[in-house]
């Protein structure tokens, strides 16, 4: 028996959530172990390393990737992820400015336990082979192009405005410490980074005392300590002279004593709007009260339409910005940041002075609103409590920050045990707020970075990129390029050397029956005929007894254990006239409008917003439900259980008694128009927009709710207002409201603890009365299926390739679509789910063939049964043509039999689906939403999860080949698929030529902003651009 050197440092129960913290530290090695016990079917691990570096080489980021390429004990690329697939687990990692965190998420303790020691060995003993560095970090391929997984990732972001501005701020504020560095690595540095440099960085930083193993969920503590004791025994002892603690023992940067203003440029054809970032060095992260006070002040300035910046800068005539966001950098001294988007470029240089004047002039007893500050303290507190009930991420974040910067060995309790800082702040008087405000935001000076778009820079980068490749080709010649291609091939062959069967076969696969899904209890009442109620259940009895006779609402209640309740009101958009659908844009202001009182007076929108925030934890208007059924309009409120009746009162006021005033509607429309440049600079948004705009008809809410494709409509509304015709707009908004808000067009979903709800059903009588609907309601309208609003292109899914150029990103994004049946529960549907996972799972065919060779950062395949669509998606592509080609080769290899189905990979794909299924139901609210989605919207039954597991276990290798041939092969045939591609203008010629050569009819569009139109050329004319609007996302492959 190995002796344990782990000493318990902290052991406490959290006062505001059902969770317990325990922390141990090895006296021999300094290794830390933190366990956060919280009931969940998921066990999550966060393995944190403090990573400080004084340059932009990207060493911390490269290790985030190279760790997964094998360890000294397990020298096989992808072993960790292959075993993870078999163990109902998923691995991932992120690199921040001060940390690299490796994650392990498992459906149950059994799978997590089996992987833990193997994963940790990869962290402390990675191989970091030259061949791995070549493929994962950077290489030049046989066509003289720069490739590599890390390189591709950074190439996709380093020319974006937010990246350039934030890096300049870091370099200005933090001249003496690692906070100045771009730990992701700049592409020019990644091109010259050596393997030995990475190895040395690992040796210097991945030390036991600089590693904290944080684990959350339902865990066998004795088993955990045994695994960790054995792992600890293999590590080096603490050195006699203590190593430097990253950042804590480094030179510290003091706050600025003078304001510094910098101007930087980012590439873009449209030069109309800029970004401005204000950054301060704030208080020590261990000063919890002041730190929290400044977060509250940040919300005071930016949160909601009644915030200071909204009222003075954004929601005004001729706005100076479309949005203001506050965020913190959780360093040893908290970084405070305000980011202003879409600042008119001609006003950007004078913008800083206006903001500084506004901040300074507001710091007094008369203007600073103490009541609102106290409201924000309460809102922030309850939002945090709600988040801890739903997820372990808030707790793990606290544990990571404590590990990096905690002042004492037992300081974790100060970070997590209670929320006394909120209790203190709620009692602060105005003088205490002013003191902190003045000290950190006025006396303390900011760095201000103005990021301006430059068409000249855009052209230069395009020319420089072409010249770099041309010069390389001349310098290397055919022989040199062939040598590079051969070197890459040899590296790939070595990386992809087969893992011995004995290694995988010796791994014990967990039993899926040991995974315990969270169960919720569904109750249907009123017009709800979808639920077969359990009349013996006490909660059901309470609901049915409280239901009035002939109750005219469809109500679905998901009974769970919680201190909160969430209400969704789902209305079908099919009841709205097609021509009115674009009015969804101003209609979404419903939660920030004045309310008309019974006596005819108006409660101002400011008071409405303040009171709504005071009474709720969350409020939102969105389209769709859990990433599906986007033709629904979804009104959502979350409140403490004791505020259930208040939530219904609020929904009654907001839906039926709000007033569409000229002022508020004008502000909403102008904000949307002013935010267009940001949307058009974002590759993924534009790719989804491009696809949706062609796939759906004008009858679709998905298409109507996109601000880019409706730019002309929005500008037309602005013109009407300017011409004194606002009355016309208001009338149409009221017709929109009347058509939408009919009782027979509503599905009410309530997620909460029925025992904590007074009058769960009859409380809705006031809502019903306010609707003023007199006709009898016997049934609810049909579920609005997106399949009913498909365009001809969306129906056919063939022959077309739509290409949109946007200079905002160097990377390319592509979706290729083909037909599948509109069936949620057919045998083929289950097989498609597994076939997709087989292709896209970590270390699966797409991972190795596309991501692993540096062609793209991500390649996936997913189904959308609601619109009968299967999609192949490339994310941050470095070579979109080659990515398509390799995807095609992989699928056709399985169809022809050239590539056999690997039985272990098949089992891994099944486990991966099980993991995704469990992860999508990791808390009561997720499980309840999933239950409603399965049972009511998709009609696949309340026990769908169990049925899916059963079906998966019966699928054979032959079934997969059949599915690949029937559905996946057509993805790569122009006669049976359509393509939607977003690329940089410099790549247009090669992309268009390639896809035209495959037989697609190409259509080219160029993202423009200032003229409000799309410039076109190509074989077909198609008018469009647009983006999607989803409140939440769900794994549609399940």
pTM of the model: 0.91
Rounded CA-CA distance 411/76 in Å is 39
Q: What is the pLDDT of residues 350-362, one digit of tens each?
A: 999 999 999 999 9
Three-state DSSP state, 232: helix
Q: What is the pLDDT of residues 72-120, one digit of tens each?
A: 999 999 899 999 999 999 999 999 999 999 999 999 999 999 999 999 9
Q: What is the pLDDT of residues 494-537, one digit of tens each?
A: 998 999 989 988 888 888 878 888 889 999 999 999 999 999 99
Distant-in-sequence, close-in-space partners of 867: CB < 8 Å, separation ≥ 6: 695, 786, 787, 790, 794, 822
Q: What is the model's pLDDT at position 29? A: 98
Q: How many CB atoms lie under 10 A from the CB of residue 253?
A: 17
Distant-in-sequence, close-in-space partners of 842: CB < 8 Å, separation ≥ 6: 78, 81, 82, 84, 85, 90, 91, 912
Structure tokens at 119: 């994963």
Three-state DSSP state, 37: strand
**pLDDT at position 1032 over 60:** no
CB 366 within 8 A of CB 184: no
Q: What is the percent of the chain with per-residue pLDDT over 90, rounded to a whole number?
A: 84
Q: Which of 421, 733, 752 is nearest to 589 (CA)?
A: 733
**pLDDT at position 1023 over 80:** no
**pLDDT at position 1012 over 70:** no
Which strand (E) or helix (H) includes residue 834? helix 827-840
Exposure pattern of 874-903 as b/e (b: 16+ CB <10 Å)?
bbbbbbbbbbbbbbbebbbebbeeeeebee
CB 916 within 8 A of CB 1035: yes
Q: What is the pLDDT of residues 538-555, one digit of tens each?
A: 999 999 999 999 999 999
**pLDDT at position 1013 over 50:** no
Q: Which of 809, 816, 805 is nearest to 876 (CA)?
A: 809
CB 67 within 8 A of CB 124: no
| pLDDT tier for residue 22 given thresholds of 50, 70 and 90 | very high
Q: What is the model's pLDDT at position 391? A: 87
CB 434 within 8 A of CB 365: yes
Q: Would the CA dihedral through 245, 250, 252, 253 be positive or negative?
A: negative
Rounded CA-CA distance 616/635 in Å is 13
Phi/psi of residue 346, each to 5°? Answer: -70, -15
Q: What is the percent of the chain with per-residue pLDDT over 70, rounded to a whole number?
A: 97
DSSP string, 749-766: EEEE-GGG-SSTTGGGHH
Q: What is the model's pLDDT at position 709? A: 86
Q: What is the model's pLDDT at position 1027? A: 27
Q: Where are the domains of the chain?
A: 6-235+484-505, 521-786
Q: What is the pLDDT of residues 958-996, one digit of tens each?
A: 999 999 999 999 999 999 999 999 999 989 999 999 999
Q: What is the model's pLDDT at position 647? A: 98
DSSP string, 592-651: GS-EE-TTS-EE-HHHHHHHHHHH-SEEEEEEEETTEEEEEEEEEEEEEGGGHHHHHHHH
Mean pLDDT over 913-939 rounds to 93
Q: Which of 740, 775, 761, 749 is nearest to 530 (CA)?
A: 749
Mean pLDDT over 457-476 rounds to 91
**pLDDT at position 197 over 80:** yes
Q: What is the pLDDT of residues 546-602, one digit of tens each?
A: 999 999 999 999 999 999 999 999 999 999 999 999 999 999 999 999 999 888 899
Exposure pattern of 354-369 as b/e (b: 16+ CB <10 Å)?
ebbeebeebeeeeebb
**pLDDT at position 1026 over 50:** no
CB 553 within 8 A of CB 743: yes
Expressed in angstroms, the distance from the first to the final Cα of the chain is 44
Q: Which of 920, 902, 1005, 1004 is nearest to 957 (CA)?
A: 902
Q: What is the pLDDT of residues 23-52, one digit of tens each?
A: 999 999 999 999 999 989 999 999 999 999
**pLDDT at position 273 over 50:** yes
Q: What is the DSSP letter of 816?
A: E
CB 340 within 8 A of CB 273: no
CB 100 within 8 A of CB 93: yes
The fold for domain 521-786 equals Cytochrome Bc1 Complex; Chain A, domain 1 (3.30.830)
Rounded CA-CA distance 537/521 in Å is 9
DSSP string, 989-1025: HHHHHHHHHTT-EEEEEE--STTSS-EEEESS-----
Q: What is the pLDDT of residues 45-78, one digit of tens each?
A: 999 999 999 999 999 999 999 999 999 999 999 8
Exposure pattern of 302-319 as b/e (b: 16+ CB <10 Å)?
bbbbbbbbbebbbbeeeb
Q: Which of 267, 237, 315, 292 is nearest to 28 (CA)?
A: 237
CA distances from 256 to 163, 333, 355, 444 (A): 22, 13, 17, 6
Whether 521-786 and 6-235+484-505 are alike in CATH topology: the answer is yes
Q: What is the model's pLDDT at position 1010? A: 46
**pLDDT at position 851 over 60:** yes
Q: Which CATH number is 6-235+484-505 given?
A: 3.30.830.10
| pLDDT tier for residue 713 given thresholds of 50, 70 and 90 | very high
| pLDDT tier for residue 1029 given thresholds of 50, 70 and 90 | very low
Three-state DSSP state, 836: helix
| pLDDT tier for residue 1037 given thresholds of 50, 70 and 90 | low
Helices and strands (H, E) in the chain, number of each type: 40, 29
Q: Which of 86, 101, 100, 104 is nearest to 42 (CA)?
A: 104
CB 324 within 8 A of CB 314: yes
Strand segments, DSSP code E, in 81-192 are: 89-95, 99-107, 139-140, 146-147
Q: How many CB atoms lie under 10 A from the CB of residue 188?
A: 9
| pLDDT tier for residue 1036 given thresholds of 50, 70 and 90 | low
Q: Which of 537, 516, 645 is nearest to 945 (CA)?
A: 516
């Amino acid at each position: 028996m190995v002796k344990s050197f782990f000493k318990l440092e902290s052991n406490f129960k959290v006062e505001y959530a059902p969770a317990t913290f325990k922390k141990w530290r090895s006296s021999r090695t300094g290794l830390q172990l933190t366990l956060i016990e919280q009931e969940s079917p998921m066990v999550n691990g966060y393995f944190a390393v403090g990573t400080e570096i004084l340059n932009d080489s990207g060493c911390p980021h490269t290790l985030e990737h190279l760790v997964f390429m094998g360890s000294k004990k397990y020298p096989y690329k992808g072993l960790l992820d292959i075993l993870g697939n078999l163990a109902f687990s998923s691995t991932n990692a992120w690199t921040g400015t001060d940390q690299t965190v490796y994650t392990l998420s498992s459906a149950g303790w059994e799978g997590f336990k089996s992987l833990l020691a193997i994963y940790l060995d990869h962290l402390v003993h990675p191989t970091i082979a030259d061949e791995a560095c070549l493929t994962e970090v950077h290489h030049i391929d046989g066509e003289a192009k720069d490739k590599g997984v890390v390189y591709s990732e950074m190439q996709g972001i380093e020319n974006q405005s937010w990246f350039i501005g934030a890096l300049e701020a870091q370099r200005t504020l933090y001249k003496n410490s690692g906070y100045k560095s771009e730990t992701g690595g700049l592409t020019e540095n990644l091109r010259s980074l050596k393997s030995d440099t990475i190895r040395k960085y690992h040796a210097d930083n991945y030390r036991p005392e600089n590693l904290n193993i944080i684990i959350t969920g339902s865990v066998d503590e004795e088993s955990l300590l045994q695994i960790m004791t054995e792992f600890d025994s293999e590590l080096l002892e603490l050195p006699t002279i203590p190593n430097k603690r990253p950042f804590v023992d480094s030179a510290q940067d003091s706050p600025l004593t003078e304001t510094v203003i910098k101007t930087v440029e980012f590439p873009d054809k449209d030069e109309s709007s800029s970004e401005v970032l204000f950054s301060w060095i704030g208080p020590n992260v261990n000063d919890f009260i002041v730190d929290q006070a400044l977060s509250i002040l940040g919300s005071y300035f930016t949160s909601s339409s009644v915030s200071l910046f909204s009222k003075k800068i954004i929601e005004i005539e001729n706005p100076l910005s479309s949005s203001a966001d506050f965020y913190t950098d959780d360093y040893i001294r908290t970084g405070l940041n305000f980011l202003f988007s879409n600042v008119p470029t001609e006003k950007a240089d004078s913008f800083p002075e206006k903001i500084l004047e506004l901040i300074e002039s507001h710091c007094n007893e008369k203007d600073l609103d103490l009541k609102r500050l106290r409201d924000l303290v309460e809102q922030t507190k309850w939002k945090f409590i709600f988040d801890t009930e739903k997820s372990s991420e808030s707790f793990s974040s606290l544990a990571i920050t404590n590990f990096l910067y905690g002042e004492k060995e037992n300081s974790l309790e100060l970070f997590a045990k209670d929320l006394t800082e909120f209790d203190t702040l709620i009692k602060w008087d105005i003088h205490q707020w002013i003191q902190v405000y003045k000290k950190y935001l006025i006396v303390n000076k900011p760095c201000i970075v103005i990021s301006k778009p430059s068409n000249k820079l855009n052209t230069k980068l395009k020319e420089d990129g072409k010249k770099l490749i041309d010069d390389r080709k001349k310098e290397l010649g055919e022989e040199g390029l062939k040598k590079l291609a051969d070197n890459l091939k040899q590296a790939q062959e070595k990386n992809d050397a087969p893992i011995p069967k004995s290694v995988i076969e010796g791994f014990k696969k967990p039993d899926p029956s040991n995974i315990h899904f969270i169960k919720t209890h569904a109750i249907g009442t009123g017009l709800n005929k979808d639920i077969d109620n359990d009349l013996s259940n006490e909660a059901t009895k309470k609901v049915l007894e409280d239901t009035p006779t002939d109750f005219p609402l469809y109500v679905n209640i998901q009974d769970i254990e919680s201190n909160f309740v969430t209400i969704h009101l789902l209305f079908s958009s099919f009841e709205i006239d097609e021509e009115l659908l674009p009015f969804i844009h101003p209609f979404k202001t419903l939660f920030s409008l004045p309310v008309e009182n019974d006596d005819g007076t108006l409660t101002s929108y400011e008071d409405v917003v303040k009171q709504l925030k005071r009474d709720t934890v969350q409020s939102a208007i969105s389209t769709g439900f859990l990433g599906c059924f986007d033709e629904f309009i979804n009104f959502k409120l979350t409140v403490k259980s004791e505020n259930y009746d208040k939530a219904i009162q609020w929904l009654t006021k907001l839906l039926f008694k709000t007033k569409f005033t000229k002022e508020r509607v004008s502000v909403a429309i102008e904000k949307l128009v002013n935010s267009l440049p940001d949307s058009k600079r974002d590759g993924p948004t534009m790719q989804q927009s491009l696809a949706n705009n062609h796939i759906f008809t004008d009858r679709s809410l998905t298409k109507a709710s996109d601000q880019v494709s409706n730019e002309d409509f929005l500008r037309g509304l602005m013109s009407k207002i300017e011409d004194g015709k606002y009355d016309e707009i208001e009338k149409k908004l009221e017709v929109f409201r009347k058509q939408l808000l009919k009782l027979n067009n509503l599905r009410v979903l309530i997620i909460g603890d029925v025992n904590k709800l007074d009058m769960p059903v009859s409380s809705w009588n006031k809502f019903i009365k306010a609707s003023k609907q007199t006709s009898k309601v016997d049934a609810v309208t049909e579920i609005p299926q997106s399949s009913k609003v498909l365009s001809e292109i969306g129906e056919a899914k063939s022959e077309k390739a739509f290409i949109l150029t946007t200079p905002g990103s160097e990377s390319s994004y592509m979706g290729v679509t083909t037909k599948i049946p509109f069936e949620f529960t057919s045998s083929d549907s289950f097989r498609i789910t597994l076939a997709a996972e087989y292709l896209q799972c970590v270390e699966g065919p797409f991972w190795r063939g596309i991501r692993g060779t540096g062609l793209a950062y991500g390649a996936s395949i997913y189904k959308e049964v609601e619109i009968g669509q299967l999609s192949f998606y490339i994310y941050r592509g470095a070579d979109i043509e080659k990515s398509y080609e390799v995807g095609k080769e992989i699928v056709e290899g399985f169809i022809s039999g050239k590539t056999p189905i690997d039985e272990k990979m098949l089992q891994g794909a099944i486990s991966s689906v099980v993991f995704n299924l469990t992860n999508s139901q990791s808390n009561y609210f997720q499980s309840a939403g999933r239950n409603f989605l399965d049972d009511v919207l998709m009609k696949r039954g309340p026990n769908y999860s169990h049925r899916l597991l059963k079906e998966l276990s019966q699928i054979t290798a032959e079934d997969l080949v059949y599915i690949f041939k029937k559905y996946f092969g057509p993805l790569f045939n122009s006669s049976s698929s359509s393509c939607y591609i977003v690329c940089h203008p410099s790549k247009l010629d090669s992309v268009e030529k390639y896809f035209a050569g495959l037989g697609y009819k190409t259509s080219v569009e160029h993202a423009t902003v200032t003229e409000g139109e799309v410039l076109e050329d190509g074989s077909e004319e198609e008018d469009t651009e647009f983006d999607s609007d989803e409140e939440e996302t769900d794994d549609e492959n399940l």
